[in-house]
């Protein structure tokens, strides 16, 4: 009996194990969801859009040209231009060589094409589907514009391509011409604006977001036609005869946004500097057309960490900071309030240094935007005076040091935030102010702790796009109206019709958009980069205290690595790996 029980037990258990059925192998992780489930659920569609928007190659705080998007690497765009240099010269010594800023965004293109292909057959209301389709088209146009402004013409892919095992040669596609691409972007923006509603919350696209994109893209296309040259049978460059058409499209698109009356320049207070400061951190700003929002802790960025002055009671605790040092050239380019040339007056008529009893006085007459964009020596940040001193002049003798802790007459020879001593402090004597969030305690600032929105399209750009297109089309008075709106908000003298020139409009873009990513692309599309950046070094402003009076005088010095832009860099190199898999791709000139 006992044995029988044991036999039975053995048999049962063994068979349980052996024949526990192969179904047991059907286990799978639960974090993978199927396509059919996605297009049947509004929340899943929102999740889809979260990914598509996240992949927008917006050159925001977490963009580094050499590292990519959505990374915490010091934002670097102005360090590529005449706006600023890096405190360490460590990251890159030049402004790239045309092989670093690439974004071959076809993975993102595929994802949005897949959405465009599938949404029509999904079970939602037509109105709902139209809105989503419009949003997807805006995103598609944005992706393509990001590529075209880098490479010139790229292959236009509008369907989801699949590899069947035998269609490899069909998948190998040539580049479209740059003109084709810009026309495609214009058309796609038009389709998007037709489908999209007039309002949205600013984090998602509406009709005017699409127009804003179109105005920017068409401005670039027009510049390419006007100032570039056609190469590789139109793969890069656009016939100059097309220029007028594109200027007109840029003008019209901007006009659509302006005519809507939905956006105004931020102009809330009487103090122009405070106003321009707040324009970048007030989430309620009606100047914002399209923003990328952040949230702590899951999706924050690191802007404050990278640009605040390093150290002391200002800098982030974890070190870092000071990575963008605006140049004296940029500071000088801000006009005086009365519209005159704003070059700082450092010496008197005889060439002797002027002694300013209050060092801030040297900036007293400048465009109020300067103070809102750049932290100037001896300006105040949250109650602390930004001590930037290169040394002391005692009885005609200049005392300098490489070390903040060195004292002279029981006084620090150099300032805590420069100049001298090396390390992570400004080389130029200037720091970035734009977008900084003063509400955050400096000890709480670290990697991924900042949450101010990045403004991708703001109304001032639309006005200046309009002004530039208008000038190029000869519509001076239209240009004047638009540019003066911007100057009025800035708090500087408005331009007369005679003053409205191409150069003044370009100059206005420089100071209005300083530190924002625009300058790099403007220098490129105007095709002046290679002429202005030949082994070009930039200048620091060195304040010295005159010990006897306590006043300050200023000297200047060239600092940083020289920057050179070679003509091939107008078009980014196509990664040779891409050409090896698609032999029909033609490489850009000069690589």
Partner 1 sequence: MEQTYFKCKYYLKYFALLFVFLLFVLTVNAQDQKISGIITDGQGKTVPGISITLKGTTNGTVSDGNGYFTISAPIGSTLSFTSIGYEKKEITVANKSDLHIVLTAAANGLDEVVVVAYGTQKKATVTGAVVQVSGQEITTSTNANTVNLLAGKLPGLRVAQTTGEPGDYATNLDIRGLGSPLVVIDGVPRSAIDLSRLNPNDIDNISVLKDASAAVYGVRSGNGVILVTTKQGSGKPVFNYSATYGVAQQANSPQILNSYQFATLTDESYINAGATPPYSAQQLQQYQSGALPSTNWLNLVLRKSSPEQQHNISASGSSDKTKYFLSFGYYEDGGIYKSGDIGDKKYNFRSNITTNLTKDLQVEMLISGLKDDKYQPGEGVEAIYQALWSEPPTLTPFANNNSGYLQMMPDGTNPVSITNSSYSGYADVDYKNFNGTIDLNYKVPSVPGLQAKILYSYNDTYYFTKNWIKEVDLYDYDAPTNSYSVTGSRNAPTTLSQSYTDINSSTAQASLQYDKSFISGHNIKVLLLAEEDKSSGLAFNGSRQFSLDAVDQLYAGNTLNQQINSSEIDPSVNQGIVGRVNYDYNGKYLLEGSFREDGSSKFAVGHRWGFFPAISGGWRISDEPFLKDKISFLNDLKIRASYGILGDDASSNYQYLSGYNYPGENYVFNGTLVNGLGFRGLTNENLTWYKNHMLNIGFDATLFTGKLAVTADVFSRKRDGLLGTLLLSLPGTVGAALPQENLNSDLTRGLEASVTFKDHIGDVRYSIGGNIAFTRTKNEYIEQAGATNSLSNYLGNSANRYNDIYWGYKVIGQFQNEAEIKSSPVEDGNGNRSVLPGDLKYQDVNHDGVIDGNDLQPIGKNANTPEITFGSTINIQYKGFDLNALFQGGADATVSYLNTIALDGPLAWGRNGLTAFMDRWHHQDLFDPNSPWVPGKYPTTRTKSGTTNPDYWNYQPSDFWLKNASYVRLKSLELGYTLPSSIIGKTGFIRSLRVYVNGFDLFTWSGLNNFIDPEHTSAVYGMQYPIMKNYNLGVNLTF
Question: ∠238-576-522 over CA atoms, to 5°?
Answer: 40
Shortest spacing between CB 423 and partner 1, in angstroms = 5
- Contact pattern from residue 436 through residue 475 relative to partner 1, giving x for each residue in contact according to CB under 8 A and a dash for the rest: -----x-xx-------------------------------
Q: Which of left, alpha, beta for 366 (phi over 0: left; psi -120 to 50: alpha)?
A: beta
Helix, strand, or coil (residue 292): strand
Among 117, 229, 296, 502, binds partner 1 (CB under 8 A): 296
Work out how close the CB of 525 gets to partner 1 at its nearest, in angstroms, rounded to a whole number.
Answer: 25
Q: Smaller CB distance to partner 1: residue 140 or 195? A: 140
CB of 262 vs partner 1, minimal distance in Å: 16
- Closer Cβ to partner 1, 357 or 411, answer by number: 411
For the record, the structure tokens of 528 come out as 């002046």
Taking CB under 8 A as the criterion, the residue among 118, 158, 274, 578 binding partner 1 is 578
x/- binding map, residues 418-437, to partner 1, per CB under 8 A?
--xxxxx-------------
For residues 506 and 468, is the Cβ–Cβ distance under 8 A? yes
Q: Which is nearer to partner 1, 170 or 532 (CB)?
A: 170
In three-state form (DSSP H/G/I as H, E/B as E, the rest C), the secondary structure along 494-560 is CCCHHHCCHHHHHHHHHHHCCCCCHHHHHHHHCCCHHHHCCCEEEEEEEEEEECCCCEEEEEEEEEE
Rounded to the nearest whole angstrom, what is the least distance from the CB of residue 21 to partner 1 in the complex?
9
List the interface residues with partner 1, window 136-195 (CB under 8 A).
155, 157, 161-163, 168, 171-173
Q: What is the H or E stretch that residue 184 is in?
A: helix 178-195
Binding mask 483-522 toward partner 1 (x if CB under 8 A, else -) reads ----------------------------------------
**Among residues 117, 198, 313, 534, which is the contact residue for partner 1, using CB under 8 A?**
313
CA distance 462 to 253: 9
Nearer to partner 1 by Cβ, of 121 and 295: the residue is: 295
d(CA 408, CA 395): 13
- Which stretch, 133-141, 210-218, 225-233, 291-299, contacts partner 1 (CB under 8 A)? 291-299
* Contacts (CB under 8 A) with partner 1, residues 537-576: 575
Site residues for partner 1, 188-227, by CB under 8 A, read 201-204
Q: Which x/- pattern, by CB under 8 A, does the window 8-37 give for partner 1?
A: --x--xx-xxx-x-x-xxxxxxxxxxxx--
CB nearer to partner 1: give 102 or 368.
Answer: 102
Task: Give the total of residues touching partner 1 (CB under 8 A).
Answer: 98
Under a CB-based contact definition with an 8 Å cutoff, are residues 93 and 80 in contact? no
Supply the minimum distance, in Å, between the C-beta of residue 91 and partner 1: 7
Query: By C-alpha distance, which of 460, 49, 530 is closest to 216?
Result: 460
Residues 375-414 that bind partner 1 (CB under 8 A): 400-403, 405, 407, 410-412
Sort strands 397-399 and 374-375 into parallel, antiparallel or unpaired. Answer: unpaired
514 CB-side CA count, 13 A: 33
Nearer to partner 1, 298 or 497 (CB): 298
CB of 390 to partner 1, least distance (A): 10
One of 4, 107, 241, 284 touching partner 1 (CB under 8 A): 107
Residues 49-78 that bind partner 1 (CB under 8 A): 49-51, 53-55, 70
Helix H or strand E segment including 393: strand 391-394
Enumerate long-range contacts of 571-574, CB under 8 Å, 24 or more apart.
571/98, 571/150, 571/151, 571/152, 571/236, 572/98, 572/99, 572/101, 572/102, 572/150, 572/151, 573/98, 573/99, 573/102, 574/102, 574/104, 574/151
Region 344-373 residues binding partner 1, contact defined as CB under 8 A: none
Q: How far is the CB of 200 from partner 1 (least distance, A)?
A: 9
- Here the tokens at position 243 are 């220029």
88 binds partner 1 (CB under 8 A): yes
22 phi and psi angles, rounded to 5 deg = -65, -10
Q: Collapse the DSSP code of 142 into the 3-class scheme (helix H, G, I; strand E, B; otherwise coil) and give the result.
A: helix
Tell the smallest beta-carbon distance from residue 317 to partner 1 (Å).
4
Distance CA(164)–CA(239), nearest Å, equals 39
How far, in Å, CA of 245 to CA of 254, rounded? 14
- Name which of 69 and 227 has its Cβ closer to partner 1: 69
- Whichever of 247 and 294 has its CB closer to partner 1, that residue is 294
């Amino acid at each position: 009996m006992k044995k029988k029980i044991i036999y039975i037990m053995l048999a049962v258990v063994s068979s349980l194990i052996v024949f526990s059925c192969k179904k047991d192998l059907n286990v799978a992780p639960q974090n993978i969801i199927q396509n059919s489930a996605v297009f049947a659920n509004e929340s899943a569609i929102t999740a889809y859009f979260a990914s598509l928007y996240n992949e927008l190659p917006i050159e925001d705080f977490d963009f580094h040209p050499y590292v990519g998007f959505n990374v915490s690497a010091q934002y670097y765009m102005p360090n590529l231009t005449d706006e600023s240099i890096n405190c360490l010269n460590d990251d890159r010594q030049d402004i790239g060589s045309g092989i670093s800023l690439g974004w071959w965004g076809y993975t993102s293109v595929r994802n949005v094409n897949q959405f465009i292909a599938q949404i029509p057959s999904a079970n939602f209301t037509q109105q709902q589907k139209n809105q989503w389709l419009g949003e997807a088209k805006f995103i598609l146009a944005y992706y393509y514009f990001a590529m075209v402004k880098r490479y010139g013409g790229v292959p236009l892919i509008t369907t989801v391509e699949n590899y069947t095992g035998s269609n490899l040669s069909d998948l190998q596609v040539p580049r479209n011409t740059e003109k084709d691409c810009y026309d495609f972007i214009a058309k796609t923006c038009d389709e998007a604006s037709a489908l999209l509603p007039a309002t949205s919350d600013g984090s998602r696209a509406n009709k005017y977001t699409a127009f804003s994109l179109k105005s920017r893209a068409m401005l670039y296309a027009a510049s390419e036609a006007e100032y570039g040259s056609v190469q590789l049978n139109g793969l890069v460059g656009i016939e100059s005869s097309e220029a007028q058409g594109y200027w007109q499209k840029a003008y019209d698109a901007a006009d659509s946004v302006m005519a809507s009356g939905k956006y105004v320049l931020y102009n809330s207070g009487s103090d122009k500097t405070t106003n321009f400061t707040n324009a970048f951190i007030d989430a309620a700003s009606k100047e914002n057309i399209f923003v990328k929002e952040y949230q702590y802790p899951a999706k924050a960025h690191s802007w404050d960490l990278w640009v605040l002055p390093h150290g002391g009671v200002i800098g982030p605790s974890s070190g870092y900071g000071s990575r963008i040092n605006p140049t004296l050239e940029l500071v000088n380019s801000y006009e005086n309030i009365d519209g005159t040339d704003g070059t700082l007056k450092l010496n008197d008529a005889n060439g002797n240094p002027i002694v300013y009893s209050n060092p801030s006085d040297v900036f007293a007459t400048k465009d109020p935007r300067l103070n809102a964009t750049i932290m100037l020596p001896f300006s105040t940040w949250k109650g602390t005076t930004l001590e930037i001193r290169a040394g002391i002049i005692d009885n005609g003798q200049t005392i300098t040091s490489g070390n903040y802790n060195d004292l002279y007459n029981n006084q620090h020879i150099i300032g805590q935030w420069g100049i001298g001593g090396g390390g992570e402090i400004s080389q130029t004597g200037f720091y970035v102010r734009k977008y900084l969030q003063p509400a955050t305690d400096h000890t709480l600032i670290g990697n991924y702790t900042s949450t101010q929105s990045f403004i991708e399209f703001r109304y001032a750009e639309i006005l200046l796009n309009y002004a530039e297109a208008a000038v190029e089309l000869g519509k001076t008075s239209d240009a004047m109206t638009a540019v003066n709106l911007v100057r009025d908000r800035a708090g500087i003298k408005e331009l007369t019709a005679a003053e409205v020139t191409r150069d003044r409009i370009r100059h206005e873009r420089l100071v209005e958009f300083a530190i924002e990513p625009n300058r790099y692309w403007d220098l490129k599309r105007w095709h002046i980069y290679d002429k202005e950046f030949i082994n070009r070094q930039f200048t620091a402003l060195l304040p010295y205290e005159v010990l006897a009076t306590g006043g300050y005088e200023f000297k200047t010095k060239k600092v940083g690595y020289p920057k050179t832009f070679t003509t091939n860099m107008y078009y980014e190199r196509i990664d040779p790996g891409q050409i090896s898999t698609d032999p029909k791709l033609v490489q850009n000139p000069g690589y």
